[in-house]
Amino acid sequence: MVAFDFSNDEWPNKIILTAEALKEEYLSWGDWNWDFKRYPKDIEAQLSHLKMLITGGKIPDLVYYGKSRENLSTNLDLATILSIYGKSEESRKILQSYKFRRKNSAEDVAVLLSLFKSWEFSEEPFDNSKFLTKVYPVIMRTLKGINSDGKFDSESQEIKVYYDLIVLMEELIVNSIDIKNLPRNLLIEKLEKVKKYVEINFMTPDGIKDNPKSAEVNPKNIKFVELYPEKSKRFFIEEEFEKYYDKRLGYLILEGEPFMDLEYNLNFTLVLYNNFFQREGERLYSRIRELVVENKNYLVPEMYTREKNMAGIYGELIHLYLLTNYYRGIE
């Protein structure tokens, strides 16, 4: 496992000018030796954008309209991408900037999950002493925050928090064979309670709600489809694809949207690949890639087919595009 250090000061939220950010980025990472040339041009461009976004191990959510915003979720996602693409040391630099917060259990879950995802792709040895002193107490605090009915004591009750919590506990159960200190039986017990709570409060035959109080499902929660039982999951994916895939445009689009939602389409592409809908995945990915190349390899949230698209660099979209490339087996 990567030897993570959580002793640094918390990284403050701030807005910085793009010119200032780019200057710091190139100075901090000027010696980062990474051969992009072996990748296809569109992937090479995203890796170059990723390198440009990194500022001393801290990644802004976007560089656009003269401002740069930092975002926890994006940072953690890109830390994982760095590990996948063979940059474990750079991934560690990002993760080292975090300090667990006692009052923010949702962020604790996100950081823990990123640690274990990065571990999967890292060849570095497991550091048991750091795990016991820095990570283990947070895991136990997180488990303590799961009530008897499966509800998680978190300031956020969005589906993403519960999804991350479920994936984290599944990761911990798998790794409990190698990490003897992990309470395997307690993890299994808590996992079942959370899954039941999610099934009752978020899942419907028509889709997944944003939170327990939502009146309607959100089609763009397709990225959480793994929460469905295996038997109904494939049927649901097929049904959603048929419902929202526009054969004329070549991508998924919701009624009333005059553009392609790139994040939604990339998430759906990942779902297709991960659930062995290879033909549909390739069809969708090919169209996404075509639009991206037409936009000079800039990934922007709203992409139009008959209008000129803006240039921008968005961390989460880079993460999804590179992750899709990885699951296609191209990396």
Tokens of 322: 């590179």
What are the backbone angles phi and psi of residue 36, rounded to the nearest 5°? -80, -20
Q: Which residues, at least 6 apart from 307, have a Cβ–Cβ distance to it below 8 Å?
A: none
Tokens of 142: 């997180």
Q: Could you give the CA distance from residue 312 to residue 290 in angstroms, rounded to a whole number?
A: 17
Instruction: Using the Cα atoms of residue 25, residue 26, residue 27 and residue 30 in order, give the sign of their dihedral.
Output: positive
Asked if 326 and 269 touch (Cβ cutoff 8 Å), the reply is: no
* Greater model confidence, 175 or 144: 144
How confident is the model at residue 4, as a pLDDT?
35
Asked if 122 and 88 touch (Cβ cutoff 8 Å), the reply is: yes
How confident is the model at residue 13, as a pLDDT?
37
> Per-residue pLDDT for 329 more than 90?
no
Question: What mean pLDDT, rounded, does the chain reach?
Answer: 82
Q: pLDDT digit string (tens) for 241-286?
A: 999 999 999 999 999 999 999 999 999 999 999 999 999 999 999 9
What one-letter code names the amino acid at 188? Answer: I
Q: Could you give the CA distance from residue 190 to residue 161 in angstroms, rounded to a whole number?
A: 15
Instruction: Using the Cα atoms of residue 8, residue 10, residue 12 and residue 17 in order, give the sign of their dihedral.
Output: positive
> Per-residue pLDDT for 174 more than 60?
yes
Which pairing describes strands 251-252 and 302-303: parallel, antiparallel, or unpaired? unpaired
How confident is the model at residue 102, as a pLDDT?
55
Q: Could you give the CA distance from residue 82 to residue 92 in angstroms, rounded to a whole number?
A: 9
Query: Which one-letter DSSP state was computed for residue 63?
Result: E
> Per-residue pLDDT for 238 more than 90?
yes
